[in-house]
Chain A
Amino acid sequence: MGDPNVTKLKNLEMITTADELVEHALKEYESPLIGYAMTILKDLERSRDVVQDTFIRLYKQDVEKVKKGLKSWLYTVCRNRALDVLRKEKRMVSVDDEILGLEHSKLPAPDTATDHHERIEQLLEILDRLSDNQKEVIMLKFQQGMSYDEISEKTGLSSGNVGFLLHNGLKKLREMMPADLI
């Protein structure tokens, strides 16, 4: 999927427009920023809203100035926005400046670990009912976090074919998955 004539995302040094900068920033930092906002807000939807707002603010910046310290700018703005949300909700938390480098603890609580395991089992059982190709691209996309192009490179399928398989596979999944798994 995707127009073969579309220019691939440029390196940061070559970026000159706000559109290119935001596109680059989304590709590199979208998920990490959501994860970072979650460490402050502990809530996925609010975190996504804060990250959306961060990228909207990125549009208003001078491209040449901000791209030199893009990561730092993004995390700083995201942090400030998340703290604004907390203040508005009067949920003040003490935030250490070093949180910039901290990661989530990767150890889940025991009960959620069990629940998670069961959900995976349930999901894999449903995925097994798809065709091999459909299952493979869905796993590469959502378990490995690959893009269409990366999946295409790994599997040897065309990008368009990857999109087609994903689309049909997800459609079938929607029909088969129980509501509580979605």
Chain B
Amino acid sequence: MKNTLKDNDPKLTAYALGELSRHEAAEVTKQLKGNPALQKEVDQIDNLGLALTKAFGKEDEIKLSSKQRAAIFQSGRNPTNADVISIHKKQWLRPVVVTLGAAAALAVTFTVLNNMAGRDDLPSQVNFQKIEKDDMLSPIAPNQSRWDKTSNSNSNSNSGASQVGSNIVLFDNASKHNVETMGDGLMHHPAALRGEIEKTAATQSSLNLAELSENGWESRADKAMTRLPLVCGNASWKWMEQWIDNIDSNSPDNVRPSKNAVRIDEILNHFHYSNPADIQVGNIHSGISLVQCPWSANHQIAVVLVQNRSKIDSYAEAAITMSEAVSRYRLLGYAKTTEPDAAMTAPARVKLAPGYSHLVMYEIELNSDVQLGDDVLAVTLNAESADSPGTIASNALSIQHSNLAWPKAPQDVQFSLILTSWAQIIADSNFDGEMNAQKVLGMIQYFETAHAPSSEQRDALSKMKDSLSAL
């Protein structure tokens, strides 16, 4: 169902009075999310219905509110213990490539694996040192001064540039203590590590990047479940800014950036998002949108945001399960590399610091017989329980097909779709569908008209427009 409800729709009264079927009610519930005006209308009808029931002395006919009924049926979409998708199953072993582009000479590519490999242990029991050894991680000695805010800024001035090779060193080797791997960095403090990557990327004047290949389509029949990546690098947007600043439309060689520098995952996650949250586990929230693909009307885009809105660090992991409504899907970004010695392991479970968020997109092709309201995918979120520290709690949410047009999506989801469309154009990617510079400019124009972009978004949109004008 498209977002078609107006505040004068009789369907709202039927919903408030519990007269809709379960499926119809679920559709209305979806439309109420993120629409406070409509929700207020429903609340007022609820209150009036209750008042009338009491006024007629029919207290024995009092019903639950529409919100309470919605919560009941929503709870039915969360799996019971018997249904919980086991994160230990091998189907979650689909590798996801995370590319960190901070190194001057090489793109470091990490592969996010489910390191359980058939074991039934809980994630908290994983021996990270064993994983490191098995996957030949290159140890990195972090510069203590960069992690310590009170350090003397001169302490790393004589260290010189790190030697770049297969043993990628991001930080100056000023300390022999606290040696940790890139995987450690990604797992335990991804925000800080990404900050370092961004700083390094900003200083690079020339790039010699590994060849990347985008993820291909996965058949749902072969791989219904996949782990959601919760980390990525943070160099690509900086490189894009540098390229845009130096665009010379008179020089055909410079109207596009290096294809290997355009990393959708990094570009997306350079920005901040505040999508409405759909599920919560402990201190971790996740918001999920399923929207028409801007470049292919027959496809959908699932936009999943995982974020820590609390003031406490919290470990989390997440997965996506595609339903039988899905024919095939592909992860956008996280391009793989063919560099033979660049494969590294990063943890699938990540510590999300307060304010940390991560946005992931999947392009989905549905089967031809899918109906509106059919389940398309489920997101499962595991995180540290807020009530019982040290234990893991789980929650899941199914998302139904509503064929929501992208202009009807939440503002931040629209922005992320513009970024992705733009990135594919400037990289001249091969993708199913039709998209060109003019269409992206049209998307930007719509967004600027329909919303009040944040300063971060305004700046990015301006740069995107400049880059597209040169094409």
Contact = CB atoms under 8 A, between A and B. Distances in A.
Interface of A: 1-3, 6, 18-19, 22-23, 26, 30-32, 34-35, 38, 44, 48-49, 51-52, 55-56, 59-60, 104, 116, 119-120, 123, 138, 141-143, 145, 147-148, 163-164, 166-168, 170-171, 173-174, 177, 181-182
Contact of A148 (B14, B65, B81): B14
A59 B60 contact: no
Contact of A60 (B10, B21, B80): B80
B52 A2 contact: no
Interface of B: 8-14, 17-24, 44-45, 47-49, 51-53, 55-65, 68-69, 71-73, 75-76, 80-81
B44 to A, nearest CB: 6
Contacts of B13: 163, 166-167, 170
A102 B80 CA distance: 34
B58 A48 contact: no
A38 B73 CA distance: 23
Given A32-B60, A48-B64, A3 B21 contact: yes
B19 A48 contact: no
A181 B17 contact: no
The B interface is mostly helix, strand or loop, or mixed, namely: helix
Given A6-B21, A141-B17, A163-B10, A22 B60 contact: no
B68 A52 contact: yes
* Interface SS majority for chain A: helix
27 contacts: A1-B19, A2-B19, A2-B20, A2-B21, A3-B23, A6-B23, A19-B76, A23-B22, A26-B64, A35-B59, A35-B62, A51-B68, A52-B64, A52-B72, A56-B75, A59-B75, A60-B80, A104-B60, A142-B56, A148-B14, A164-B10, A166-B13, A167-B13, A170-B49, A174-B48, A181-B55, A182-B51
B91 to A, nearest CB: 24
A147 B19 CA distance: 7
B63 A2 contact: no
Given A1-B11, A31-B62, A163-B19, A142 B76 contact: no
Given A6-B23, A22-B73, 10 more contacts: A19-B22, A26-B72, A30-B64, A138-B52, A143-B56, A147-B19, A163-B19, A167-B10, A170-B45, A174-B48
